[in-house]
Structure 1
Amino acid sequence: MAAHKGQHIIPACYLRGFIAAEAPIEHRGSKNYELGVYVNNKIVSQKWKMRGVNHEVFKKSWFYNISEPGNELHVEKSLSGIEGRYANSLKEIKKYSFLSEELKRDISCFVATMLIRTESFQANFQGAINTVVGWHKELSSDIVHHNEYAYGHENISRKLVVENTAQGILSKIGLSILVNRTSMPFITCDTPVLRRDTHSDEIAYLAGQGAHCKTEFTPNQIFPFFYMPLSAEMAVVSCGLIDHVPDENQYIECLDVDAIFKLNIMLASQSQKYIVSDRSTPFGNIEKNVSKRLQDSKPQQGVYANLYTCKNRYYFKVKDMTEIVDGIRLKISDLKTYRGIISDHDLSSIDIYVDGKPRRGMRQIELGNVNEDILEMEFVSKIKLGII
């Protein structure tokens, strides 16, 4: 068992995609110095340090072991096979090889695995399961039945890594390789898969502008967006707003440094402990500003609304909110947004956020009373219940 004590949370095969081109200045005279990756804390407030891909910072003791006698290393051994296929796939991608269905399947499998094998996902998911098990214990009068129930729910989060149900999502959407042609490299971190909802008016800011961006969708439609950097120059992107089908879209070149910067910032912002780069100055002369931005990162303060109509989406700041019968009354400050909503009669839903947290949501809505003089409007439910 001791031989499997230090298990990689972020696998060495993945980190090798970010190996530095040369050693730090103080070690460049050493013939035996082993190149590694540069590591910093999640707010980039320290000096970048080179660490080998097998350094302890990337490991945790017995992280994947399960409590099944004789089968403790089942997850660890299964991951070994997934990682081996990924290493071979990355070699082909770096050669700009044709993305065969088998290669895309192996990449999808690895991305899905990286999404759920992180320390944060494992802790949060298993913590939720353990809470449910605790409720079962409180409600169960049969201790034998409860023990069987509890045993069946042990290590579910770790077993989920092997089952890899998330792979099907990427396989269905399709994927492309985003090729970074800017002076800023892709960075990565201990939670290397970015997953967020996006809209047609945002995709060019995430994957660069070009023919690969679909234009037939309206801004009110929501699409899942997946992104995972593979190296400083290449990343996987998967989204229904990207045309993954044509052969010429297998490798998408991005010349927009703002898009690369945005992807880097979003990934760094979700980091739990550390950020990884292939160089000691990935952000160049703006690194101090990046560090300050990450340190000051917090949910958007104030009250904001996200409104969907039949064709559009409006995200705006709310000056004042009042609960009314079967709805809410909002006062805003932007005349253009106000007039856009008023003219966009077919409303769908609205969500209210206070200091970044969801506070109120309504579906099947319509406009109530409006007052342009003070930019005030009411959103009421089509189903009248007569309650506040």
Structure 2
Amino acid sequence: MYLSESARTVFAVLAATCTATRPQLAAGAGLSKPTVSSAVAELEAAGLAACSGTATGGTGRSAAVYALGPAAGAVLAVDLGPSRTLVRGCALDGTLLSERAGSRPDAAAVVSGVLAELPPGAPLRAVVVAVGDVTTRGREGGGERPATAKAGPVFDAMSVALPPGVPVHLENNVNCAALAELHEGAARGRDTFGYLRIGVGIGLGVVIGGQVLRGANHAAGEVARLPFPWDADREPRHEGLEAHLGAGSLLRRAAAAWQDADGPCPSTAERLFALADEGHPRACDVVGRHAADVGRLAAAATAVLDPGLIVLGGAVGSNPQLLPGVRAELARLSWPTEVVSSALGESGTVVGASRLAVARGIQTVTVGEREED
């Protein structure tokens, strides 16, 4: 299917605004009203736009209101987390069509469930899968090599559930969460910040000038690779910092510090933080030490990036009890930097992946067809 340049432009504006009249489309696209009228007719004929009602202006005259048509299709966003899978299906205007969650091994079934709930006949335009450790290994033949990820057999099984021929894009899960915080979370109104995720693993999403920084190998923010420990008597271990700051290590340190008089030792990070919230002395001490460690990582990031704002996310990092300790340690080691908790919590990754999927889907319509022609 071929679309004219003006139709592609109007489609992109309509997707961004959800609904619009022809004058509004003309203003948003920077095109004349006759050109927009021709483009709208072209989009209607292709099923990419449809009249959704009328609006009455100040003069009493009514104008047709347009929305995306059934042929515009949908996109899929998948947060393939370490233990949980969250999947969203969205229209190309960002409207949520379906959402399901399940365990990581059940990812294929969760994807199939969301696909079954999308509008019948709506083409799937793009899929974005958020995973850990996405890299692009250098350049090849003047272009970038395809992204790779340590997703394993679960990703392969999930891919089989997708319709054939649909573009699948891999994105770092921390970058997705940072993008979500930028547009819908704790970093709204800030175009430069760092999103520091502390959970089973660790990661840093870097946003500079409103854009996620990916780096030459798509590995920017892989703070798990920072040398740790770093002193004269011990050799740094591979991903030693992640091993030290991850949730598993936090619980091991809690177990090592726990005394019989402290009662049952917490077996989850959630229970440890709940005890600290109740004022349990040992839990408060363990959480305080962990906050100081996270504050040192925040200080390292601040020394390099000077982000002005650090957003703490992840299953452990988003807990508000970490804030005082992180802020104190960062203030002790670096210059004043605001530190806040994530506003989106564990949903941030799929929210960010949804935004990327919508952008990719629009691109499939407005750019992909031109490249095929």
| TM surpasses 0.5 | no
Indicate the structure with greater helix content: 2
* TM-score normalised over the length of structure 1: 0.23
* TM-score normalised over the length of structure 2: 0.24
